[in-house]
Structures are given as structure tokens and as C-alpha cells.
Amino acid sequence: MTAGVMEERQSMDGYQAIAAYWNEHIHDLSIATKPIGTKGFFDELDAYRFDKLRYLPRVVDFSGYGGKKLLEVGCGIGIDLVRFASGGAEVTGIDLASRSIELSRQNFEQHDVSGAFEVMNGEAMSFEDASFDVVYAHGVLQYTMNPEAMAAEVFRVLKPGGTAIFMGYNRRSWLRLMSVLLRTPLEHMDAPWYRMFTSGEMRGMTRLFSEVRLTYERFPVPTKLHKGWKATLYNGVFVRGFNLLPRFLTGWTGWHLMVFARR
Ligand SMILES: C[S@@+](CC[C@H](N)C(=O)[O-])C[C@H]1O[C@@H](n2cnc3c(N)ncnc32)[C@H](O)[C@@H]1O
């Protein structure tokens, strides 16, 4: 980040800085080869995401919420939300970044599904209490100013008995170790707010909820983002070696801390 950009960010309100960053750095955009906004573009990013996050359809039943009111906080370009909508959920997506919301709308048009979208801060939502059956926030707590406030808002807008699904980054992860050893920064570490959590911190943030279940997910898969000798070493040696180790030894190092909770 240049000094000018840094100064501009510091002079902005924190939430404006988050919106400005994510308007410029749409998640996974760097991998796209198809023109932005086309069906090919969204399908390419969906394929990339679900190859990288192959655990996700195993732990989140995208077609299991038919007829339910589902909110995604920090929906990005709506890749997961299209899957929920295709599965029959009545979906709403919010994000601080207006470009994400525009692209989410285009994604829904391209896939011929319907959803409601709004630029909104997930820490201070305008929805009534107890509005949704399910609230999903994947990869958002770690990029907002006050993740505790976001978790409390999710609790507020959920109906009693409703389900919350969060994903936060694990501070004690294999990926963080690799990033230090290979001196390669992790994606979006330059975001205005970026943090990692211990499992205890994730549990602490979701203490308002009942039936909190935490799982460790996302283990090494070959990178398509990086090139050169580091990527060759990573893909050829590390990914293979790591995945030969028994999961009971490495399970606690999963990069994604998934929390499933009930209001
Ligand atoms: C890493 S992206 C994740 C996008 C999407 N959930 C996914 O998994 O691809 C983080 C998103 O969270 C949004 N975000 C960060 N803080 C937010 C807040 N307080 N309210 C709403 N959205 C927020 C950002 O604008 C960005 O689109």
C-alpha cells in the first residue's frame, strides 16, 4: 500500500475504509479470466471457490433451507448466496461494499434466481429483531471493526431457534505458519481490519448463542493463485506431505474456524 493510500484510509471513517478496500479488492477477483459480470465470470469464481473450499458443501447444506428466510452478512459477489437461493431459500444479502452488492445482483440475474440486496453494515443492521431463520457470515468477522458487535447483531436478527453460521480465520493454523516460513503474505492481510482468532475467541464472540459447535476446516489444496518456485514447492511437497499426515494430528490447525450456533 502506498503512503498516499494509507493516509487516505486513515482519514476515512473506519467503515468507509472497509467499503473502499472491498470495492477495490473483490474477493478472488484476481483469478478471473472471463469478463466481469458475465455468467462465465461467476461460474469461474464459483468453481475456484469450491475447489479451494472443498469442505464447504460437506458442512453447509446449501439446498437444505428451502422456504427459510436466510440472510448473508458480507455476501461479497453472492457466490454462496446463489447456491442457497437455488436450493429454495428466500435470501437477502448485505455488504458494506456497493460494488459487491452490484455484482451480487448481476450474479442472481445471470443465474435466474431472486434475492434482496442492500448496502448495509452488519454491525448495525436495519432489520427488525427475529427476522431470519438462518444468518450466514463466511469470512467477515475477521475483516470488520467490531466482530463482537456483528455477532450480537446476528443474534438479534435471528428468530429464536434460528441458525447462525460463521467462519473466522484460525490464528494457530498451518496456513499462517506457511505464510511466515515462505514469507508470502496471506490474501487481504492489507485490509483496513484484519485479524485471526483462537477457537476460544470464536466461542467467546458467540457466547450469546446456544448449541455452539465449532469445527476446524480448510486444509491444504494446490494453489492456483501463486506461481514460481514457492508455489511449486508448496504444491508439490507441502500439500502432498501435509495430507499424508493423519487428521487427528493436524485437525486443530484448519484455517477456517466454522461455528454453527442456535439462537
Ligand atoms: C473476504 S470477503 C468475503 C465475501 C464472501 N462472504 C465470501 O466468502 O466470498 C469479506 C466481505 O465482508 C464485507 N464486510 C466487511 N465488514 C463488513 C460489515 N461490517 N458489514 C457488512 N459487510 C462487511 C466486505 O465488504 C467483503 O465483501
Q: How is the chain split into domains, by residue range?
A: 3-172+188-222+254-262
Q: Which residue has the least CA distance to atom 4 on ligand 1?
A: 76
**For range 73-98, the mean pLDDT:** 98
pLDDT of residue 5: 47
Average confidence score pLDDT of the chain? 93
pLDDT average, residue stretch 212-232:
88
The pLDDT-based confidence of 1 (bands split at 50, 70, 90) is: very low
Is 140's C-beta closer than 6 angstroms to any atom of ligand 1? Answer: yes
The pLDDT of residue 181: 87
β pairing state of 132-138 and 158-169? parallel
Residue 108 in this model has a pLDDT that exceeds 90: yes
What is the CATH architecture assignment of 3-172+188-222+254-262?
3-Layer(aba) Sandwich (3.40)
- In the chain, which residue ranges form alpha helices assigned H by DSSP? 3-11, 14-24, 39-52, 56-59, 79-86, 98-110, 147-157, 174-181, 199-205, 229-233, 240-244, 247-250
Distance 28 CA to ligand 1 centre (A): 12
pLDDT band of residue 11 (cuts 50, 70, 90) is: low
The pLDDT assigned to 223 comes to 80
d(C-alpha 15, C-alpha 30), whole Å: 24
Query: What local confidence, expressed as pLDDT, does residue 29 receive?
Result: 82
Q: Whose CA is nearest to atom 13 of ligand 1?
A: 74
- Tens digit of each residue's pLDDT (9 = 90 or more) over 15-40: 999 999 999 998 888 888 999 999 99
Sheet holding 132-138, edge to edge: 115-119, 90-95, 69-73, 132-138, 158-169, 256-262, 210-217
Residue nearest to atom 12 of ligand 1 (CA): 74
Copy the grid coordinates of residue 120: 448495509
Q: Is the pLDDT of residue 128 over 50?
A: yes
4 confidence band (pLDDT: 50, 70, 90): low
